[in-house]
Amino acid sequence: MTSRQFLLVVALVQGVLLAALVVLIILNRWFRLRRSAHLQPRRAAVDDAMRRWAAGAAPLAGVLIGLARLPVSLAIDALVGWSARVPGERWRELAAELEHQWWARVVRANGNSARWWKRLECARFLSVGAMPSDIARLTRLINDPHAAVHIAAVASLERMESTPLTLTALERLPSLAPTVQAYYAGMLRRSRPVVIQHLQKRLRRTDDPALPRLAEFAVRLAEPALRERMTALADHTNLEVRTQVARALGSFPHRESVAALTRLGADSTWEVRAQAVRSLGMIADATTLSLVRGLVRDPIWWVRLRAALALMRFGGAGRNALLEIEVGGNAEARDVAKMILGLPAQALAEFAA
Amino acid sequence: MSVFGGVIHGTDLAILIYFLGLNSFYALLLVLSIPEIWEQTRLAEDDDFQRLMQSDALPPITMLVPAYNESATIEASVTAMLTLEYRSYEVVVVNDGSKDDTIDRLRHAFDLYEVPRIYPETIPTKPLRAVYRSRTRSRLLVLDKENGGKADSLNAAINASRFPLVIAVDADTLIEPDALLRLTRPFLLGREIAAVGGTVRVANNCTVKDGRVTDARVPHSLLAGIQVVEYLRAFLFGRLGWNRLGGNLIISGAFGLFRKDYVSAIGGYRTTSIVEDLDLVIRLHQYLRRLKIRYEMPFIPDPVAWTEVPESAKVLSRQRERWHRGLIAATWQYKGMMFNPRYGRVGFLAMPFYAFGEMLAPLIELFGWIVTVGGLATGMVDTTFALLFVLVAWCYGMLLSIWAVVLEEVSFRRYRRFSDLLLLLLYASLENFGYRQRTVWWRLKAFVSVWKHQHVWGEMTRKGFATPPS
């Protein structure tokens, strides 16, 4: 074959491909329009049936028939959409009925699929339609390697109280990225008693590599039952643990918290001092005023800022201390005092947050 | 065969090999974009946004909005930014020494009051004149500073930002309400993200109401219409393909989310750079690879920001020339990264591709034309072969553009009307007849500017967005 013939063949193939692509685009648009014209009334019918059933004006059978007529992904979308609007008892009734639906059985079976999108479909369905018999399946899905799948599966904790599931999620929590941890934390709040009990045990293991993450989670809960364990970790060797403890103790006005925070206020790392002084401001114990006042002269800007903001929470005495610092001999402390005293209440509140 | 004939044939062969190599790489990107868009579309469809909106997992974001002489649009743009569907974010607008009344507009529209500056200047910038907060919008912070350019304004905004993620947004860019939410998906999926880019689409001819695109249309102007296809190609298959290759070098400066600690660690945006977004991304790669930090810089297609593109050839030529000047400067500045094993795929794939496949492409194309015309004139190149070659090259260009339309059509389908789809196909077909040759010329001019050491931004005149009929 000569080069000319080769180019001719390439040009012909390209021409055919171009024509095929144009036809594909047009057919795809036409097909989608037709499909949407078919499905929209069905989706509207499900919404209508759901509305009437939720109001007690129609039987559940209408909803089930409507859902079965939709493609699975749309049926799951409809369920997720309505799950927040239907009261718990009625929703459980629907979830129980869905167990016997053929399409729901297929979706459940997809929980073992090798394809992540099938498992995701299953996890999304179970996040709103799980029954006690699904606990083993959900446990597997929470341990799924695909992030989208386990994130969808953990949402089932919002509706289901199950100790094994809660513990599975708690075990997974420390190994997750911070954003995902925060999401898990939100889901785990509902199972508070189990979580607290578990945390009390785990926070005792001072050599646990997951301790910083668990401490961070404990801060989010702000649970008084955890105060004692958190206080005991104030002298931990890990900087992140001490930082989390310094953050957490601000929510627990107690003399042991104040004592621990006083020690943390003199920590060698500025991150811990900054959090400790913030927490001391939250508690605003008069005996710590001089310590907080001293931290306005800290060599690190963030600690000085946090200390000055904390002084504003001590009321008149704190304000007077700042006024004295403003005309004092330390230039850096003077600057930060001047800044904070010049802030309006709204800005102060935002910075203190 | 004479020496001249040998040179002609040798050059022809070299150009043919270059053509085959480059287009094979484009074909690879095309193939890689298929599973990528499929996965992204599935994830986008399966997002339960209501649940996310209610969770406190979403990382807080600071939007950095540099504004220079934006008096006409600033109020609407900032209002739209302040009403995005996202739980925790702030907007830092920087008036970069505007000569018009941008700052007065902001002051009146948002009831601003001056506050003392209470943050350290981590990245040095031009002096600040004042810092303002709003009585009506607690999310808003406005900085008034002396003129220092876009990069300097972005650095000032980074200094003032409170949150760990920052997103640079042009004041005239329209962000879709759920775009921030969608942009944070990779963070929520637990990936080690250093930066993430979203799609920028063309807003010309779209209907805009209250700073939002309410009806997406394809422009009727040929120049703007072809740019729609260009943007689709660049975002939907170029960057998606690069996702799989792990070396995205461009995250649009008009819509890109970055981790602030990394940006601060490399000293923020470089004020001397012509294309500050490309420069920033390359430096981020350099920094993270040197420190052996695990990271990803993905592009995700469903968060959308809309921007107005030039409709006049004069303005477009200035824009393209500047982009290419920036590419030349960045390639030259970071040439040490090329084929350097320390920089992995970025050094072995992305940098060489941008240097040889993008930066040098107009020079090689020009050279090819000269040699071919010379060969035809002297009878050393066969006319039929040359014509067939040009035909194949053009058809391939068309295929790539139409492929971008296919990806748009099977995934997001923003253009709902059938007439818009036909227009897109028409523009994809016409791109190779005149438009592409002009862009080659503009990019060639960039080499001349670099040679002459010109460092001019080029003014971007905008027509403004269409509003719905009352």
For A91-120, write each residue's pLDDT tens digit: 999 999 999 999 999 999 999 999 999 999
Contact criterion met (CB below 8 Å) for B158 and B232: no
Residues of B in contact with A28 (CB under 8 A): 409-410
| pLDDT at res. B463 | 56
User: Which chain A residue shows the shortest CA-CA distance from B137?
Assistant: A346
Residue A21 to chain B, least CA–CA distance (Å): 7
CB pair distance less than 8 Å for B409 and A177: no
Q: Which amino acid is at B139?
A: R
| pLDDT at res. B333 | 92
User: Which chain B residue shows the shortest CA-CA distance from A306?
Assistant: B118
User: Which chain B residue shows the shortest CA-CA distance from A353?
Assistant: B162
B72 beta partners: none
SS3 A122: helix
| pLDDT at res. A353 | 62
Mean pLDDT of all residues in A9-26:
90
| pLDDT at res. A302 | 86
In the structure encoding, which two tokens stand for residue B412, read together? 């997001």
Phi-psi region of A71 (alpha: psi -120 to 50; beta: other; left: phi over 0): beta
Q: Looking at the partner chain, which of B113, B188, B425 has a beta carbon nearest the beta carbon of A180?
A: B188
d(CA A248, CA A251): 6
Residues of A in contact with B413 (CB under 8 A): 32
CB pair distance less than 8 Å for B391 and A183: no
| pLDDT at res. B159 | 94
User: Which chain B residue shows the shortest CA-CA distance from A73?
Assistant: B46
CB pair distance less than 8 Å for A148 and B382: no
Q: Looking at the partner chain, which of B190, B389, B409 has a beta carbon nearest the beta carbon of A28?
A: B409
Secondary structure (DSSP) of B231-290: HHIIIIIIIHHHHHHT------TTEEEEEHHHHHHTTSS-TT-SSHHHHHHHHHHHHHHH
B259 beta partners: B165
Residue B161 to chain A, least CA–CA distance (Å): 12
Residue A186 to chain B, least CA–CA distance (Å): 6
Residues of B in contact with A155 (CB under 8 A): 48, 51
Q: Looking at the partner chain, which of A14, A81, A338 has a beta carbon nearest the beta carbon of B395?
A: A14
Residues of A in contact with B135 (CB under 8 A): 346
Mean pLDDT of all residues in A299-328:
91
Residues of A in contact with B118 (CB under 8 A): 305, 336, 339-340, 343, 351
d(CA A174, CA B436): 53
State the complex-level ipTM: 0.76
Alpha-carbon torsion, ordered B445, B448, B452, B456, to 10 deg: 20
SS3 A20: helix
Using the structure block, give the residue that is written with the tokens 């008034």.
Answer: B144
In the structure encoding, which two tokens stand for residue B354, read together? 């941008």
Q: Looking at the partner chain, which of B56, B118, B188 has a beta carbon nearest the beta carbon of A339?
A: B118
d(CA B427, CA B405): 10
d(CA A202, CA A204): 5
CB pair distance less than 8 Å for A14 and B58: no
Number of residues that make up chain B? 470
The pTM of this model reads 0.83
Centre a 10 Å sphere on the Cβ of residue B236 and count the other Cβ atoms it contains: 25
* pLDDT digit string (tens) for chain B, length 470 residues: 577 777 777 887 888 888 888 888 988 998 999 999 988 888 887 756 566 666 777 889 999 999 999 888 888 889 989 989 888 899 999 999 999 999 999 999 999 988 777 677 889 999 999 999 888 888 899 999 999 999 999 999 999 998 999 999 987 788 999 899 889 888 877 778 999 999 999 999 999 887 788 899 999 999 999 999 999 998 887 888 999 888 788 888 778 999 999 999 999 999 988 888 899 999 999 999 999 999 999 999 989 999 989 999 999 999 999 999 999 999 999 999 999 999 999 999 999 999 999 999 999 989 888 888 888 888 887 888 888 888 888 888 899 899 889 988 888 888 989 899 999 999 999 998 899 999 999 999 999 988 887 654 444 555 555 554 44
CA neighbor of B397 nearest in space, from B12, B27, B37: B27
Which residues, including other chains, have CB under 8 Å from residue B38's CB and lie 6 or more apart? none
| pLDDT at res. B1 | 56
**Which segment of A219-228, A336-345, B66-75, B140-149 scores lowest on mean pLDDT?**
A336-345
Residue B182 to chain A, least CA–CA distance (Å): 14
CB pair distance less than 8 Å for B190 and A155: no
CB pair distance less than 8 Å for A177 and B187: yes
B63 beta partners: B91, B167
Interface A-B, measured as beta-carbon pairs within 8 A, has a size of 124
Residue B447 to chain A, least CA–CA distance (Å): 32
